Structure 1
Amino acid sequence: MAAIGPLVEAIRYDVSLSFTQLSLLTTLPVLAMGLGCFVSALLAKRIGFNSVITLALASIALSDALHWFGFGYTGLWAAALGAGIGIAFIQAALPAVIKQAAGEKTPMVMGFYIASIMGGAALASAITPVVSDYIGWQSALALWGLLALAGLVCWVMRRRILPAPSQNNSVSIAFSAMARQPRFWSLAIFFGLGTAGYTCLLAWIPPTFINLGWSQTQAGLALSWLTAIEVMAGLTFPILAQQMKDRRPVLLLVLLLSVAGFLLLGLMPKTMAWLATALLGLGIGGLFPLSLIITMDHSDDPVLSGQLAAWVQGIGYLIASLAPIAAGLIKDLLGGFEQAWLMLGVIFIGLIVMSLRFDQSKAPQQLHFS
C-alpha cells in the first residue's frame, strides 16, 4: 500500500488511470481489511488464531507475486484485494495474541506492533521508487512478497514457542450483541475516522508533492520521513499512555498535533511541507496504536478483547476505505489535494470532542452483555 504512492506517475503512464481509479488501489485493500476482520473472527473460532495468521501471510505473499505477471489494472485490483484480506486477518487476530502474551504491558507491545507496521511503510515508500528505476514498477511491487514469505517462516517458528490464546475458557460474543452497544460504535467510528487520515497520507502524500513539482524519489522520501516519525511516535506515546491512569491527555496531544499538520498541509503545502509531515507523523503515529489500546481497555479477557478489536477495526476500515477515493475525486475535480487535507483537519477536531468520553477507569463498565 505504501509503495503505490511514489509510483503513481509510472503506473498512470503504463496503465492509463485517473487519480480516482488509482485511489482504488489504496481503497480496495482498506475495504478488504474491513470485511476481512469479520471473516477473521469467524475463522479464529474454527481453526484458531495461529492458523488464521499463517493463512494471512500466505495470502499477502501470493497477492504481491501477481505483480510479476503484469495483468494490468485487473492484476492491480486482485493484488490489492488479496493483500488487504491478508492484512485484515493478521490485524484482527494479533491483538488477542498480544493481550494474552503481554498482559499489563499490552500498550507497550501494541506500540511496537504498530510501529513495525509503519516502519514497513517507511521502507516501502523509500525503497520502491529507487528499485523501480532498475527493474520496473511491477517487479518493485512484487518484491515485497518475499518479506511476507520471511514473515511466514518466522511465524511458523514462533508457534512452537508462544501458544495463542485459547477460546475454550473465554466469553464469546456475537457481533449482533456487540452491535447493540453504543460504546462499540463510538470506538469503531473513532478508529475509522482516525485511520482515514492514515490511509489518505499513505496514498496521497507523494502525489501531493509531485503535484507541487517534486520528483518521484523526493516524494517517496517525504512519505518515508513521515512514516519514520510515525514509528517513533508509535513507540513513544503508547509507553507514555501505559504509565498514566487516564489515557485521554496523550490522546488529546496526538489529535492536536494531527490537526495542526493537516491545516498546514492544506494551507501552506509548499513552505511548510516538512513541518506539516513531521506533525502528522507524530499525531497519526501516536493515534493509530492508541485507538486500539483504548478499545482493548474495555475487557481484561484476551479473546473478548480481541473480538472487540477485530470488529472495531472491521467497521473502522470500512469507514476509512472511503477516504482515499474521496481525496482522489477532489483532486480530479479541483486539481489539488489541499481541500482534502483541510477536510481531514476538521474531522480530527471532531475526534478531539469524541476522545473526551474515553475514560480508562470507566471503560469496562461501558459494555453490557446479558
Structure 2
Amino acid sequence: MLAAFVFLVAFNLRPAITAVGPLLPQIGADVGIDEGAQGLLGSLPLLAFAAVSPFVHRISRRLGFEGAILATMLLLAAGTIIRAYTGFTGLWLGTIVVGAAIGIGNVLVPTLVKRDYSQHISRTTGILSAFMTASAALGSAVAVPMSDALGWRGALAFWAAPALVVALVWIPRIRAAASAAPPKPAAHPTVSVWRQPTAWLVTAFMGLQSTTFYFCVTWLPTIEMQRGVSEHQTGLNLFVYQIAGMIAALSIPRLMRHGTSQVAAAVTASTPMVIGLLGLIFAPSLGFLWGVVAGSGTGACLAVALSLISLRGRSSAETTQLSGMAQSIGYVMAAVGPVLAGLLAQATGGWTASLGAILVIALVQLGTAVFAGRPRRDAREHAPG
C-alpha cells in the first residue's frame, strides 16, 4: 500500500498547470498581460522543469527518493499559494516554484516505478499516466466554475490542498524507507546518459509529445472561445480531451507488454495528434471531435514516454539520470511551443498558422517514434519488465 502512494503523487503533477489554461483570459485582463505574455506564463513551469530536472538525481541522493517526494509536495503547495496571492511578482515567482516542484516529481516518478514495480513497468506507468491525465482533466474542468465562486486566484490556490494531503500521508513511507535495508549497488556500471544515442531518442520523443500536449492545454480553450464557444463549455471540452487521454493511457500498455520493442506503441500513440490537428485546421466546426482524438494521442504518448524512460534505464540511478535528461531538454522544447503559438496568433490575427506549426511538430514526433521505440543495443543485458 505504501508503494501505491506514488499514484497520489502522480495525481498532483498536472492540475496546478492545467487549471491555468481556461483562466488565461481572466488572468490577462486582471493583471494586464497580452497573449504573448500569457503564453510565457503557460510555458514558465516547463522552463522550471527543464532547469531543475538535471539536478534531481543529486537531490534524491541527499534526501532519498521518499524525502525528495515529501519536499516536492510541500514546495508545490507553497508555490501554489504564492502564485495566487502575492501580486504581480508573486504570479511569476510562484509559477516558477510550482514548475520546479512538479519537475522534481516528474523525474522521480519513473524511478520509483523502476524500483518498486520492475516486473510491471508498462502497466504501472499506464496507470500513473492515467492518474496524471485524470487530474489534469479535473484541473481544467473545475477552473472556470471555481473562479466564478472564488475568483481566479482562489481557483488556482485550491490545488495546494491535495499536495498538502499527499505530503501528510507520505510520512509513513519515509519511516518505512528509513527502516528498510540499504539498496544494493547497481548491477550495471553507469555510463553517462548524455553519451547514449538511445537516451537522445527518448529525450526527443519526450520533448515533442510534451510540446503538443502543452500547446493544447494552454491554447485550445482560447481557440474555441474565438470560434464562439462559451468559456464554461471550453473548460468542459478540455476535461473531455483529458479523459480521452486517460483512457488511452490505460490502453496503450497492451502494445508494450511483449518483447523489448515499443515501436508499435509509440507510433500508435503519436498518430491521433496528427489526425486531430488536421481536423482542427480543415474542419474546425467539428472541434470537439478533433479535441477528443488529439487528447487520446497526448494521453497515450505520455504513458509511452514515461515507460521508455523506465524501460531504457538499467538501474534506478541511471533511470533517474535519463529521466532528468529527457525532461530537462524535453521541456525546453515544450516550453517554446505555447509561447511561439501565442506570438504567431498575435501576429497573424488567428490560430491557423499556429495549428499548422504544431502539426509539423506532431509529424516529426511520429517519425521519431519509430526510432525511440526500438530497443537499446545492449537490451540483451536486461529485461524490460
| Larger CA deviation: 40-49 vs 294-303 | 294-303
Q: 1:124 to 1:292 in 2, by over 3 A?
A: same
1:42 aligns with 2:54: no
**2:264 partner letter:** P
1:323 aligns with 2:341: no
TM-score scaled by length of structure 1: 0.92
| Larger CA deviation: 116-125 vs 60-69 | 60-69
Deviation at 1:29, TM superposition (A): 0.3
- CA distance in structure 2 between the aligned counterparts of 1:38 and 1:172, rounded to whole angstroms: 19
1:335 aligns with 2:331: no
Instruction: Tell me if structure 2 keeps the 8 A contact 1:297–1:363.
Output: no
For residues 1-370 of structure 1, the aligned pairs below 5 Å read 1-72=17-88, 74-161=89-176, 169-170=185-186, 173=190, 177-243=192-258, 246-269=261-284, 271-365=285-379
Deviation at 1:44, TM superposition (A): 1.2
Q: 1:361 to 1:15 in 2, by over 3 A?
A: closer
- CA distance in structure 2 between the aligned counterparts of 1:68 and 1:353, rounded to whole angstroms: 40
Q: 1:54 to 1:333 in 2, by over 3 A?
A: same
Count the aligned residue pairs: 363
Deviation at 1:93, TM superposition (A): 1.2
- CA distance in structure 2 between the aligned counterparts of 1:158 and 1:264, rounded to whole angstroms: 46
Q: 1:352 to 1:168 in 2, by over 3 A?
A: same
- Secondary structure (helix, strand or coil) at the match of 2:117 reads helix
- CA distance in structure 2 between the aligned counterparts of 1:20 and 1:141, rounded to whole angstroms: 21
- CA distance in structure 1 between the aligned counterparts of 2:286 and 2:377, rounded to whole angstroms: 39
Deviations 1:305-360 (A, max 9, x none): 23212221111111111111011111211122222222222222222222222354
What is the alpha-carbon root mean square deviation over aligned residues? 2.2
- Secondary structure (helix, strand or coil) at the match of 2:328 reads helix
- Secondary structure (helix, strand or coil) at the match of 2:317 reads helix
**2:352 partner letter:** E
Q: 1:251 to 1:68 in 2, by over 3 A?
A: closer
Instruction: Tell me if structure 2 keeps the 8 A contact 1:183–1:366.
Output: no
- Secondary structure (helix, strand or coil) at the match of 2:312 reads coil
Gaps of 5+ in 1: none
Instruction: Tell me if structure 1 keeps the 8 A contact 2:44–2:335.
Output: yes
Instruction: Tell me if structure 1 keeps the 8 A contact 2:66–2:173.
Output: no
- CA distance in structure 2 between the aligned counterparts of 1:168 and 1:235, rounded to whole angstroms: 32
- Secondary structure (helix, strand or coil) at the match of 1:307 reads helix
- CA distance in structure 2 between the aligned counterparts of 1:165 and 1:197, rounded to whole angstroms: 42
- CA distance in structure 2 between the aligned counterparts of 1:26 and 1:173, rounded to whole angstroms: 36
Gaps of 5+ in 2: 1-16
- CA distance in structure 2 between the aligned counterparts of 1:339 and 1:104, rounded to whole angstroms: 45
Percent identity of paired positions between Structure 1 and Structure 2 = 25
Instruction: Tell me if structure 1 keeps the 8 A contact 2:201–2:372.
Output: no
Instruction: Tell me if structure 2 keeps the 8 A contact 1:295–1:308.
Output: yes
Deviation at 1:83, TM superposition (A): 0.5
- CA distance in structure 1 between the aligned counterparts of 2:96 and 2:250, rounded to whole angstroms: 29
Deviation at 1:220, TM superposition (A): 0.8
- CA distance in structure 2 between the aligned counterparts of 1:70 and 1:2, rounded to whole angstroms: 20
- Secondary structure (helix, strand or coil) at the match of 2:256 reads helix
Instruction: Tell me if structure 1 keeps the 8 A contact 2:110–2:309.
Output: no
Instruction: Tell me if structure 1 keeps the 8 A contact 2:193–2:318.
Output: no
Instruction: Tell me if structure 1 keeps the 8 A contact 2:248–2:300.
Output: yes
